[in-house]
Amino acid sequence: MMTLTSSKDTGRQEPGPSGDAGSPGPAGRRRPRGRTKASGGTRGQGLVAHIFLLPWMIGMVGVTAGPLVASLVLAFTDYDLLSTPQFIGLDNFVRMAGDERFWAAVRVTLVYVLVSVPLQLGFALFLAVVLDKGLRGLSLYRSAFYLPSLLGGSVAIAILWRQIFGENGLVNHVLGWFGIELGSWLQDPSLALSTLVVLNVWTFGSPMVIFLAGLRQIPEELYEASMIDGAGRVRRFWSITIPLLTPIIFLNLILQMISAFQAFTQAHVVSGGSGGPLDSTLFYTLYIYQRGFVNFDMGYASAMAWVLLLVIAAATAANFIVSRRWVYYGDE
Amino acid sequence: MAASPTTSVPRQVTRHVVLVVFVLLMIYPLLWMVVSSFKPSNLILSQTGLFPSEITLENYADGWDALGSPFSLFLGNSLLIGVGSVLGNLFSCSLTAYALARLNFRMGKVYLALTLMTIMLPFHVLVIPQYILFADLGWINTYIPLLLPKFLATDAVFIFLMVQFIRSLPRELDQAAMIDGAGPFRIFWSVILPLMQPALITTTIFTFIWTWNDYFGPLLYLTRTELYTVPVALKSLVDTETQSGIGTMFAMSLLSLVPIVLFFIFAQRYIIKGIATTGIK
């Protein structure tokens, strides 16, 4: 490859003063070459790389970045898909502040995230620890626990859930043995959300698999050394397993939190698209959907979507900041 | 946690008992659904056990034709979109990943960072302008809005997965091929792609399962019954619940899960590895 050698040569000549300070263009362009190692010519592969990246670039501009900017613009407009968008400044956000259903959606989503994610991770961690090391049939158990994670997002399981928590469903049957009589969980505003929380907890298998992979990274010597020092089972768990696993706990927390904020399918199917009863399962994304694609209130829906983006970004950033206090990254 | 030498036999037994009870508790609803799909609808809710007093295939026969078109149509539509999405992701993500992992060019790191950032982006921020764009192009009630993005490398998780994988391959292979006179396209096609097989399999599995389960996309873009994928077809069964009955809903729901369970049985190794390395669900 010609470019390979030529760039290497110029790279070698260049570290000295680039001389032509008067023309920043070429000098600026040449500088990165000096950085690249002998392995490749910067400019030569740039062209090839962009040919490889052609689909990605079209997608990035047309399907991702373009729409991202467009929805930000739409957030400041009134747009019903038929007439031209009207710029209305901050009106959508002002409306949001006074919109009771918006606040219902915020409440429902926050409760869902704050309750279901810790419960789900708790189960995942507990079972990962029980399954770790020295247990026969590990892979069998792991598969059984993981299966719900693959199925949990489907409409089929949402349909099953509607029946299980219905008036004569499995759950009420079992509660009946203990003399507890409840009506349909899905009709009761104080219970409906909990069925969706249970559904999310039910899919603890995927964070569990990640925990299992993390547990395998903990050196056995640490446990042996601590046993020689007389540390018991509980002590070892809290002083070795948990601290060394904190990076994985953190990773799982971020992943599951982001996905819980965006939950949609299950709420849509279980509540029949309404988010009811009494907006008790009106997930944030479900309300965006209703506003945008049922009422064709596209400007308002875009504004809501951007609020969601900012909330997720802020929650993630907050987690990263707090993580410095509790996540352990090797010897420091 | 427990190092094996000290774990006593009774302790092992208790652990197994607890685990088995837990597994049963989790899987019971699924088993009950399987059994119920073979029971007459009026018996489903009154019988909570796993041994039906009466067995019938009626639910499957009724459900198959409940929506005017045979259910095979919806299964076929879903299969078409699933296979198309897999091809799209394999094509576009592997090209992208190779360029980002192996080629030296100035914007490489920036592009990779951009790609990683899009993983975090909530779908809902993009979907409204996308819908407006696709509607303008007259693509509502076509599969283009569901398939085209897959050919444009928009599933960044798989790019990430493949970049990680390519980086783990020794660079000497590329260099040897280069000395033999192979250009980047040749190296990609004959050296990297064959070695990437595990990453490609993981991508195939997850792309298929996700698109098979995808509900939001088809809900937005498909309004004509004959174009429905399985999830939206199931939802319309629910909407006509009173006529169709629980039995038929269960029967068709189970059919919809069969491909996923098959993947689960035959490709578990890749699934488990995929989650453990990238954190995908």
- Domain residue ranges of chain A, discontinuous segments joined by +: 1-40, 95-326
Q: Are residues B91 and B215 in the same domain?
A: yes
- Report whether pLDDT(A207) > 80: yes
Looking at residue B156, its pLDDT comes to 92
Query: Which of 186-215 (B) contact A at CB < 8 A?
Result: 188, 209, 213, 215
End-to-end CA distance of chain B: 25
- Report whether pLDDT(A22) > 50: no
Confidence of residue B242 (pLDDT cuts 50, 70, 90): low
Task: Please answer whether residues A182 and A192 qualify as being in contact, where contact means their C-beta atoms are separated by less than 8 angstroms.
Answer: no
Looking at residue A37, its pLDDT comes to 41
Confidence of residue A108 (pLDDT cuts 50, 70, 90): very high
Confidence of residue B244 (pLDDT cuts 50, 70, 90): low
- Report whether pLDDT(A203) > 50: yes
Q: Are residues B40 and B80 in the same domain?
A: no
> What is the CATH superfamily name and number for domain A95-326?
MetI-like (1.10.3720.10)
Q: Return the residue matching tokens 């090839």.
A: A48
| pLDDT tens digits, one per residue of A212-229 | 988 988 888 888 888 888
Q: Are residues B12 and B142 in the same domain?
A: no
Nearest CA in chain A to B135: A81
In-domain check, residue B63:
no
- Report whether pLDDT(B277) > 70: yes
Task: Please answer whether residues A170 and B32 qualify as being in contact, where contact means their C-beta atoms are separated by less than 8 angstroms.
Answer: yes
Q: Are residues B162 and B249 in the same domain?
A: yes
Looking at residue B3, its pLDDT comes to 44
Mutate to test the interface with A, among B13, B22, B147, B152 (most CBs of A within 10 A): B152
Q: What is the mean pLDDT of chain A?
A: 84
- Report whether pLDDT(B104) > 90: no
Tell me if A312 and B120 make a contact (CB, 8 A cut-off): yes
Average pLDDT of the residues in B232-239: 90
In-domain check, residue B98:
yes
Q: Which structural domain range is residue B273 located in?
A: 71-278
Confidence of residue B68 (pLDDT cuts 50, 70, 90): confident
Nearest CA in chain B to A58: B152
Nearest CA in chain B to A240: B1
A·B CB contacts under 8 A? 279
Mutate to test the interface with B, among A5, A68, A81, A150 (most CBs of B within 10 A): A150
In-domain check, residue B53:
yes
Query: Which positions in chain A touch B220 (Cβ < 8 Å)?
Result: 293
Tell me if A305 and B95 make a contact (CB, 8 A cut-off): no
In-domain check, residue B135:
yes
- Report whether pLDDT(A30) > 90: no
In-domain check, residue B214:
yes
Give dist(CA B34, CA B258) in Å, integer: 11
Distance from CA of A25 to the nearest CA of B (A): 15
Confidence of residue A16 (pLDDT cuts 50, 70, 90): very low
Looking at residue B2, its pLDDT comes to 43
Given B19, B35, B58, the domain boundary residue is B58
Tell me if A156 and B253 make a contact (CB, 8 A cut-off): yes
Task: Please answer whether residues A262 and B122 qualify as being in contact, where contact means their C-beta atoms are separated by less than 8 angstroms.
Answer: yes
Q: Are residues B101 and B203 in the same domain?
A: yes
Tell me if A130 and B16 make a contact (CB, 8 A cut-off): no
Average pLDDT of the residues in A82-111: 93
Query: Which positions in chain B touch A172 (Cβ < 8 Å)?
Result: none
Spell out where chain A has E strands: 77-78, 86-87
- Report whether pLDDT(B196) > 70: yes
Q: Are residues B272 and B154 in the same domain?
A: yes
Q: What is the mean pLDDT of chain B?
A: 89
- Report whether pLDDT(A92) > 60: yes
- Of B49, B72, B52, B51, nearest in space to B60 by CA: B72
- Please state which of the ranges B45-59, B85-99, B132-146, B174-188 shows the lowest mean pLDDT: B45-59
Q: Return the residue matching tokens 């453990």.
A: B276
- Report whether pLDDT(A9) > 60: no
Average pLDDT of the residues in A32-41: 42
Looking at residue A44, its pLDDT comes to 62
- Say which residue, A5 or A250, is predicted with more confidence: A250
- Report whether pLDDT(A12) > 70: no
Confidence of residue A155 (pLDDT cuts 50, 70, 90): very high
- Report whether pLDDT(A6) > 80: no
In-domain check, residue B223:
yes
- Report whether pLDDT(B195) > 80: yes
The 3-state DSSP class for residue B106 equals: coil
Confidence of residue B15 (pLDDT cuts 50, 70, 90): confident
Q: Are residues B96 and B223 in the same domain?
A: yes
Q: Are residues B11 and B91 in the same domain?
A: no
* Amino acid (1-letter code) at residue B261: V
Q: Are residues B49 and B133 in the same domain?
A: no
Q: Are residues B80 and B104 in the same domain?
A: yes
The 3-state DSSP class for residue B154 equals: coil
Tell me if A220 and B105 make a contact (CB, 8 A cut-off): no
Tell me if A127 and B12 make a contact (CB, 8 A cut-off): no
In-domain check, residue B64:
no
Confidence of residue B45 (pLDDT cuts 50, 70, 90): confident
Q: Does B235 touch chain A (CB under 8 A)?
A: yes
Q: Are residues B135 and B224 in the same domain?
A: yes
Looking at residue A181, its pLDDT comes to 84
Looking at residue A29, its pLDDT comes to 40
The whole-model pTM stands at: 0.86
Tokens of B32: 């009950």
- Of A213, A215, A152, A121, nearest in space to B26 by CA: A152
- Name the packing angle between helices A100-131 and A205-216 (round to 10°): 40
For the ranges A81-85, A124-128, B62-66, the one whose mean pLDDT is highest: A124-128
Mutate to test the interface with A, among B34, B89, B244, B281 (most CBs of A within 10 A): B281
Confidence of residue B204 (pLDDT cuts 50, 70, 90): very high
CA dist list (Å): B185 to A4, A139, B59, B153: 16, 40, 53, 18
- Report whether pLDDT(A24) > 90: no
Average pLDDT of the residues in B87-98: 96
- Report whether pLDDT(A292) > 80: yes
Report the number of distinct structural domains present in chain B.
Answer: 2
Which member of A63, A153, A163 has the closest CB to residue B154? A63
Residue A36: CB atoms within 10 Å = 17
Tell me if B45 and A163 make a contact (CB, 8 A cut-off): yes
Mutate to test the interface with A, among B7, B12, B13, B105 (most CBs of A within 10 A): B105
Looking at residue A38, its pLDDT comes to 40
Q: Return the residue matching tokens 């069998």.
A: A140
- Say which residue, B274 or A128, is predicted with more confidence: A128
Which member of A49, A155, A237 has the closest CB to residue B215? A155
Tell me if A265 and B32 make a contact (CB, 8 A cut-off): no
| pLDDT tens digits, one per residue of B206-229 | 999 999 999 999 999 999 999 999
Confidence of residue A41 (pLDDT cuts 50, 70, 90): very low
Nearest CA in chain A to B258: A151
Give dist(CA A261, CA A308) in Å, integer: 8
